[in-house]
A and B are shown apart, each in its own frame.
Chain A
Amino acid sequence: MAVQQNLAQLSNTLVYSAMLVYTGALGAFVTDLARRGASASSRSVAPARPPALVGSGAAGGDTSDPAEGEPEAPASRASRAANIAVSLTWLAFGLHATAVLIRGLSVQRAPWGNMFEFASSGSVVVTAVYLAVLTRRDVRYLGAFVIGPVLLTLGLAVTVLYTEAAQLVPALRSVWLLIHVSVAFVASALFTLGFSTTVLQLIQERRETARAAGRTPSRGRFMDALPGAAALERTSYGLHIAAFPLWGFTLIAGAIWAEAAWGRYWNWDPKEVWTFVIWVVYAAYLHARATRGWDGRRAAYLALFGYACLLANFLLVNFFAVGLHTYAK
C-alpha cells in the first residue's frame, strides 16, 4: 500500500485554494453584516421594532408560527454580499471537500490519522453542517462566525499541525477510526455552530438589556440585523440537542474501540476523561436550561464552557497530557 505523494501534493494545493476562497467568503459575510448593521440602525430610528417584543414568542398567546414571529425579517432582506458569500462558501467547500477526499485517496484510508488531517477533515464537516442548516433556515448572519473559525483551523492545520501523507500506525488501523472520529466530527461541527450562535445570543441579550434600560448600545450595530436573543437561544438549543447524542455516541464508540485495542473500555485515559468532561458539561447545560429560575443566559455560559473544553480536548490534551492517544500528535 504505497502512499501517492503526488496526490497528497494536489490535496495540499486544493487546501490552499479553499483557504483563499474562504477568505473571500469571510470578507463578503463581514461586508454583509456591516451593511445590515447600517440599514438596521437607520431603521431603528423609527420605532419599527420595539425591543420589548423580542422573545414574547408563543407564551404570549400569539398563534403565529414562532419561527416566523421572531424578527428574522431583516435577515432575509440580506444584501447581495450575503449571496456572494454563500456562493463562495459553496465553492470553498467543494475545494476543501475534494482536498480531503484526495488526501484520503493518496494514503488509501480515512483522512484523519493525524492532527493535520483531523483539523482539515473536521473543519470541512463544520462547513458542510453549516451549509446543510442554511438550506433549511436563513442563517446567513452566522456565516462570518462559522467561516472565521474554519479558516483559523485550516491555517493552524497547514502551519503548526502539518504532517506528511503516510500510512497509519498500526494502533489506528481499525474500522472504529472511521466510525468514532467521523461522528465526533459531526458533533463538534454542531457544537461549533452552537457556540457561534450562543456568543451572538449573549451579545444580543446585552444589547436588549441596555435598550430596555433606555440606553443605546454603542458598538456592534450590525447586531441589529440579527434575530433577537430569544430566537438565537432557540437556534443554539436546537444545535446543541442535535450534537449531544452524537457526542454520546462518540463516547460509546470510543469505548468500544478502546476495548478492542487495549482491552479496557474505560481506563480514564486523558482523552477519555476530556470526552467525558465535555459530555458532562453539555449535560449540565441541558439541565440548566430545564431548571426553573435559570434563564437562557446562565445556561449559555455553560454551553460556552463546554466548547472551551472541546477546544482544550483537541489542542491541549494532544500535546500536553501523556496517554494512549498521544500517537495523534
Chain B
Amino acid sequence: MATDLSDGASTDGAFTDDASTDDASTVREPIVQPRLGPGGWARWAWRQLTSMRTALLLLFLLAVAAVPGSLLPQNRQDPGRVSDYLDAHPTIGPWLDRIGAFDVYTSVWFSAIYLLLFVSLVGCVVPRAGQHWRAMRSAPPRTPRRLDRLPAHTERALPAEADRAPDALLDAALVVLRRRRYRVVDNRREDARPGAAPDASLSAERGYLGETANLVFHLALLGVLAALAWGSVASWSGQAIVVEQQTFANTVVAYDSFSSGRLVTTGTLPPFTLKLTAFRVEFEAGDRAGQMGAPREFEATMSVVDTPGAAPRTVVVRPNHPLDVDGTRAFLVGNGYAPSVTITDGNGQVAYRGPVVTRPQDGNYTSLFVVKAPNAEPRQIALVGVFLPTYELQDGVPVSLFPQPLEPRLMVNVFLAAPGVDGLGFTTGRPQSVMRLESSRMSMVTAADGQPLRVLLEPGASATLPDGAGTVRFDGLARYAALDIRHDPSKGWALATALLALAGVTASLFVRRRRVWVRVVPGEAGPTVVQVGGLARGEDAHLQADVDAVALAVLGPGLTPGRGDTRDPKGHG
C-alpha cells in the first residue's frame, strides 16, 4: 500500500541497478507448491493483505462503497427522509435497510473495507520504516565498478594542458554535490568504509526526504483515522430551539435531542446560558428571476453568560460564525416563526399560552404547527395549522408569497376530544411528537356546511370555537433560532494530522531520490579521466542535470562536458 508513490521502480526500498529483478522478465518455471501449515497460511494471508494489489483493490472498493451513501438518504443526516424512502419503496427498502444502506458509513462492510485498508497500510509501512531507518543511517553504497552502465553517465578526459591532480578534481566534485544537498561519502578516506580499501571516488545520495515524507503521509492517515475515532467517543452534540427573548441553559434536559460519545459525562456540560435577544432576517426583495425571497442575512444576537455569575456578553451569531464558549460551539442551523397563541377552554380557563414553534416547508416560510391543550376542560383542544407570513388567497388556495411577515396569518383546524376523555393520550405516558397529532381519538370540528372548520387569524384576533369549546387567539409573532451545539475535542488533531498527511504526500511526490558517483582515473600514459554516473529511483528528469553539473564543476567552466553516449561499446559484450 505504502510503496513510494513517485515511481514505478522497485518496491523493496532499495535501488536496483538493472531491470533483471522485474517480475516480467523472470523466467517462469513450473512451480511446486510447498505444503503450508497454519503459520504458513497466516504468513501467506498477511503477505496478500499487505501487497500493493490488495491495497489497490481496497482503495477502489472504498471509493465504490462510499457512493451509495451519497445517493440514498442516510440516518445520520436525515432520519425523516429514510422513513419516507422506506414508505415509498416497500419492497426494496427493507432489504436496503438490512444491508445497512441507510447507515453506509457505520455499516459492517464499509468499516471492514477501511479497516482492512489500514491494516494493509500498517503492514506495509512498518517494515518500510525500518528499512528506511537503516538506509538513512548507512552510507551511500560504494562506487560501482562500471559507472558507464548507469542510466545517467558522462565521462571526459582532461586535455593535457588543463590536467589537474585527481584530489583537486574530487574536492571540487565534493563541494558541488554538497551544495546540491547530497550526502557524500569520500571513498578516499581510510575510515570511509571499514574493511574496504580507499578508492579515488565519491558516493553521494540525496532525496531521503521523499521516502520519509511518504511514510509520514501514510502514518498521518492513521492519525486522521484515530482522530475520527476519538471524536466519535469523546464528542457530544445537541439540538435546541430558542425563541426570541427565551433563555437556554446548557444542560442535557434543555435539548430537543442530544447525543454523546461513550467517554462523555453528560452531567458536566459547560454551564453556560444564552438568551436570544434579537433575530434579524433579511431576504432578497428585488423582483429578479429566481432570486426573490432568497435569504440574505441571518443574524442572531445573543446575551451569553459563560459561567454562572459571570457578566453577560453580547454575541452575534451568523451562518459560518458560531458562538464559541471555551471550545463548545453553537451553530445557527435553522430558523422560523414562533407565533404566540392563547387557548381558552370551555370553562374560560387559559389552557395554553405561549409561542408555538412552526416548521417552514418552503422558501416562503409556509410553516406547519400543532398545539395541544391537554388540560382544557371539559373537552381537550388541539390545533393543527399553517402559519403564512405573507398571506394571499390564490385561486381559493391560501399561500405565502414572501418569507417576511408582511401579512401574517394563522390558519387552523380544530380538534376536540369527547368531554372528560383524554383524547390526546397524555395520561398514557407514551412519548409524543410535538409536531404530530394522533387524531384517531379526537374529532375535527366542522363548519355548518359539513366541511372542516378553518379558522383564519391575524395578529391580535381571536376566534370562538363552536359548541362552547373555548376560544383561540393569535397574540403576536416572534422568531426562533435552531441551534446545533457541539463539542468535539478531536478536531484539532484531525486537522493537524490531515495537514501532516498533505505535506507528506506533496513532498513524497516531488522529492526525488537519486545517487551520484564520481570517479577519477589518473592517466598513467594518457590524460586523467573523470567519470560521473547517476541513478534515480523511477524516472527523473533532473538526474542528468545533476550528473552534468558535477562534471562541469570538476572540469572547470572552460570545459563544458559534451553530451552524448560515451559508453565503451565493448562494455556490452
Chain A interface (Cβ < 8 Å from any Cβ of B)? 57-59, 61-67, 163-164, 166-167, 169-171, 173-174, 176, 234, 241, 244-245, 248-249, 251-252, 255-257, 259-270, 273-274, 276-277, 280-281, 283-284, 286-293, 302, 309, 317, 320-323
Contact = CB atoms under 8 A, between A and B. Distances in A.
Nearest to A166: B291
B329 to A, nearest CB: 6
Q: Most chain-B CB neighbours within 10 Å: which of A170, A251, A267, A268? A: A170
A164 B289 contact: yes
A268 B74 contact: yes
Interface string B1-44: 10111111011000000010011100000000000000000000
B43 to A, nearest CB: 20
B319 interface: yes
A244 B76 contact: no
A287 B59 contact: yes
B128 to A, nearest CB: 13
Interface in B512-549: 539, 541, 543-544
Interface stretch (B62-70, B393-401, B421-429, B462-470): B62-70
B228 interface: yes
Interface string B62-95: 1100110111011011100100000000000000
B141 interface: no
A291 to B, nearest CB: 5
Given A241-B510, A263-B331, A268-B77, A292 B8 contact: yes
Contacts of B198: none
Given A57-B539, A61-B149, A66-B539, A268 B76 contact: yes
A65 B564 CA distance: 10
7 contacts: A166-B294, A170-B297, A234-B539, A244-B509, A245-B505, A262-B484, A266-B494
A174 B495 CA distance: 19
Interface of A is mostly: helix
A261 B331 contact: yes
A241 B509 contact: yes
A274 B69 CA distance: 10
What are the 6 closest A-B residue pairs judged by CB atoms, nearest first? A270-B70, A174-B320, A273-B70, A245-B506, A263-B486, A280-B63
A160 to B, nearest CB: 13
B52 interface: yes
B84 to A, nearest CB: 11
A255 B498 contact: yes
Contact of A63 (B154, B297, B486, B494): B154
Given A166-B288, A287-B1, A323-B70, A267 B76 contact: yes
Contacts of B77: 267-269, 323
Contacts of A62: 565
B191 interface: no
Interface of B: 1, 3-8, 10-11, 19, 22-24, 52-53, 55-56, 59-60, 62-63, 66-67, 69-71, 73-74, 76-78, 81, 104-105, 149, 151-154, 228, 237, 284, 288-291, 294-298, 318-322, 329, 331, 333, 484, 486, 488, 491, 494-495, 498-499, 501-502, 505-506, 509-510, 539, 541, 543-544, 563-567
Contacts of A263: 237, 322, 329, 331, 333, 484, 486, 488
Nearest to B2: A287
A277 B63 contact: yes
Contacts of A317: 70
B67 A284 contact: no
A322 B73 contact: yes
Contacts of B19: 59
A67 B545 CA distance: 12
A166 B110 CA distance: 41
B70 A66 contact: no
B495 A252 contact: yes
Given A169-B296, A268-B105, A261 B319 contact: yes
Contacts of A59: 19, 151
A281 B396 CA distance: 55
Nearest to A240: B509
A116 to B, nearest CB: 11
A262 B541 CA distance: 46
A164 B502 contact: no
Contacts of A61: 149, 151, 153, 565, 567
Nearest to A163: B290
Given A63-B153, A265-B494, A287-B56, A170 B298 contact: yes
Contacts of A281: 59-60, 63
A321 B66 CA distance: 14
Contacts of B319: 170-171, 173, 261
Contacts of A260: 320-322
B318 A262 contact: no
Nearest to A271: B70
A43 B374 CA distance: 94
Given A267-B77, A269-B77, A167 B284 contact: yes
A78 B208 CA distance: 41
Contacts of A286: 5, 509
B556 to A, nearest CB: 21
A273 B505 contact: no
Nearest to A67: B541
A170 B295 contact: yes
B157 to A, nearest CB: 16
Contacts of A163: 290
A244 B504 CA distance: 12
Nearest to B5: A286
B63 A284 contact: yes
B52 A287 contact: yes
Contacts of A261: 319-320, 331
B509 A277 contact: no
Nearest to A238: B541
Given A164-B288, A260-B320, A280-B62, A293 B4 contact: no
